[in-house]
Amino acid sequence: MQDFRKISENDNVAVALRELLPGVQVIVDGGAIRINDRIEFGHKFAIKEISKGSGVVKYGEIIGEATSDIKPGDHVHINNLISLRVRRAH
């Protein structure tokens, strides 16, 4: 059983397939990433540096924009990711 799933080639986040605790190491595309936060099943963590204002990519598509600098292993969720669609609608 895998610990996580990177869905698409260009994704900069992966989905945890079980709870991952801080300090755990996962191997993504041959490189080691240390998990920084508690990542629950189904939640996302960064697998690349994502700087503030740049796109978060899942399914090979931009799912929103980083609201702060995100490091590999960080939990990526509503605390540091905002929809571009919502902003456009308002």
Partner 1 sequence: MKDIKGYWNDDGKVGIRNSVAILPLSVFSGVAALNISNAVEGTVPLLHPHGRAEIGLNRERFHRNLVNQVLNPNVQSALLVGYEHKTTEKYLAEIRSKTKKRIESVVVLDKGTIESVAAGTKLAMDLSSAASEVTREPMSPADLCIGIKCGSTDGTSGIASNPAVGAAVDRVVSLGGTAIFSETTEIMGAEDVLSKRALNSEVAAKIMNAVKSNEEYALNLGVDLMGVNPVPDNIEGGISTIEEKSLGAILKSGTSVIQDVLPFGGIPNGKGLYFMDSPSAAQEVLTALTSAGSQLILFSTGLGNPSGTPISPVIKVTGNRYTVKRIPEHIDVDVSGMIFEDMQRSEAGDKIYEFMLKVINGKRTKAEILKHREFSPVPVGL
| Segment interacting with partner 1 (CB under 8 A) among 21-29, 30-38, 46-54, 61-69 | 61-69
Which residue, 26, 27, 29, is CA-closest to 8?
Answer: 29
The answer to whether residue 52 forms part of the interface with partner 1 (CB under 8 A) is no
Answer for the pair 23, 71: CB distance below 8 angstroms, yes or no. Answer: no
CA distance 68 to 57: 15
CA distance 22 to 53: 25
Query: Which one of residues 33, 47, 66, 76 is an interface residue with partner 1 (CB under 8 A)?
Result: 76
Answer for the pair 44, 20: CB distance below 8 angstroms, yes or no. Answer: no
| Segment interacting with partner 1 (CB under 8 A) among 21-29, 30-38, 46-54, 73-81 | 73-81
Query: Which one of residues 7, 22, 68, 71 is an interface residue with partner 1 (CB under 8 A)?
Result: 7
Smallest distance, partner 1 to C-beta of residue 67, A = 11
